[in-house]
Amino acid sequence: MAKLYFSYSAMNAGKSTLLLQAAYNYSERGMSTMLFTAAIDDRAGRGRIASRIGLEAESETFSSGDDILARVTERLASGPLHCVFVDEAQFLTEEQVWQLARVADRLGVPVMCYGLRTDFQGRLFPGSAALLALADDLREIRTLCRCGRKATMVVRLGPDGKVVRRGAQVEIGGEDKYVSLCRRHWEDEMGRAAPEDFIGFTGR
């Protein structure tokens, strides 16, 4: 039975690499796929998914008003489709996540989504919130904080290289603009942990 999958992580954990590897595995076996990425993120060029290690592939793009279910249904009319892949899935709308769930449930095509869980202020993206609620299978892709702990959060850097604590939820960028941190160091960088809160505490 087809499922809706959501693989999530902080920035620079290799989400696009894993997506492209999985899509390649399908094509290597003669199976057809359909790839989507957010139109808003054109760092690799419009309609392209690229990883930091040099892998890339052409893809469809989606914007907030697109009916992804209709597009997949149209694609199925031309022949078999074995999997749908979605990069930058945090930019999906809630309705689009429901559409992808229907691709799995009603069209019988597995859907594999890859994206961020939270923004630089520690808040869920709308698409990620819907995927966490609806996906059949949740998978965390791990990356490390500077301290060696698992990174679960991300901070945004301004032009001066300093951490930005306010701003729009969406601002496209890569390693030049975002740094992944563990929760403890994210809280320190965001100024949320006052030193006086820990007076007398000797733990690490």
pLDDT, tens only, 47-97: 777 776 667 788 899 999 999 999 999 999 999 999 999 999 999 999 999
Q: What is the set of active-site residues? A: 88
pLDDT at 45 over 50: yes
Q: 135 and 5 in contact (C-beta within 8 Å)?
A: yes
Architecture of the domain defined by 4-198 = 3-Layer(aba) Sandwich (3.40)
With CA atoms as reference, report the closest residue to 7 among 178, 102, 142, 172. 142
Q: Where are the domains of the chain?
A: 4-198
Count Cα neighbours of 105 within 13 Å in the Cβ-side half-sphere. Answer: 9
DSSP state letters, 121-146: TS-B-HHHHHHHHH-SEEEEPP-B-T
pLDDT, tens only, 117-154: 998 888 899 999 999 999 999 999 888 888 989 998 88
Q: 52 and 12 in contact (C-beta within 8 Å)?
A: yes
Count Cα neighbours of 144 within 13 Å in the Cβ-side half-sphere. Answer: 4
Q: What does pTM read for this prediction?
A: 0.83
E strand residue ranges, 19-82: 33-38, 48-50, 56-58, 60-62
